[in-house]
Chains A and B, each alone.
Chain A
Amino acid sequence: DTGVSQDPRHKITKRGQNVTFRCDPISEHNRLYWYRQTLGQGPEFLTYFQNEAQLEKSRLLSDRFSAERPKGSFSTLEIQRTEQGDSAMYLCASRPTGLPEAFFGQGTRLTVV
């Protein structure tokens, strides 16, 4: 499978715990995006990277959220001190230079109880 891969697919955590999600983009895609999608809504932009540089962060990304892409390949999204409002699907996408559209992974569904 050479598509965008996300791990885990599902995560249930207790409120106040920290969680980390991983995204492996398509090989040689230099742009990587994180989106959040709640039930019945469209994806909301969180942040994106060009190679290892984080170029933009949404105001949705509170101080409890941090994303990294240390070597310009895979990326991690960490949520500290999770809250029930963090329950959502977290989508990762990647895009190569020269193509306008992004390719999405299957997402990580987070449930905070």
Chain B
Amino acid sequence: AQTVTQSQPEMSVQEAETVTLSCTYDTSESDYYLFWYKQPPSRQMILVIRQEAYKQQNATENRFSVNFQKAAKSFSLKISDSQLGDAAMYFCAYRQTRDDKIIFGKGTRLHILP
């Protein structure tokens, strides 16, 4: 069975600094998607960034970028120039290409220190 592991329950970063959130996953599939979702307090979950497993190039969305290491089954999220609005729970998630189910990790709570 596929699993997603986030080993950092909480992290803190100073405003304007850079932080990296870790995620590892377990799968025997070669074709899949990986996601980072953000869930602010009492607000809905939104997609931050997506990576297709067949793409070697790491995805980037403005201040958010990933380090995708397929052989190591690692998918970390880097947030540059952290802002107060980045404070949230961040969930790493996985979906097989030929399946519809999205599997989530337990999340990392990110605090931004002013």
Chain A residues with a Cβ under 8 A of chain B? 3-4, 31, 33, 35, 40-45, 48, 50, 55-56, 91, 93, 95, 100-107
Contact = CB atoms under 8 A, between A and B. Distances in A.
B72 to A, nearest CB: 21
Contacts of A105: 44
Given A33-B102, A35-B104, A100-B97, 20 more contacts: A3-B44, A4-B44, A33-B100, A40-B107, A41-B106, A42-B6, A42-B91, A42-B104, A42-B105, A42-B107, A45-B103, A48-B101, A50-B100, A55-B100, A93-B102, A101-B33, A101-B50, A104-B37, A104-B44, A104-B45
**Interface size bracket, B side:** 20 to 34
Interface string B78-114: 0000000000000100010100111111110000000
Contact of A43 (B33, B91, B95): B91
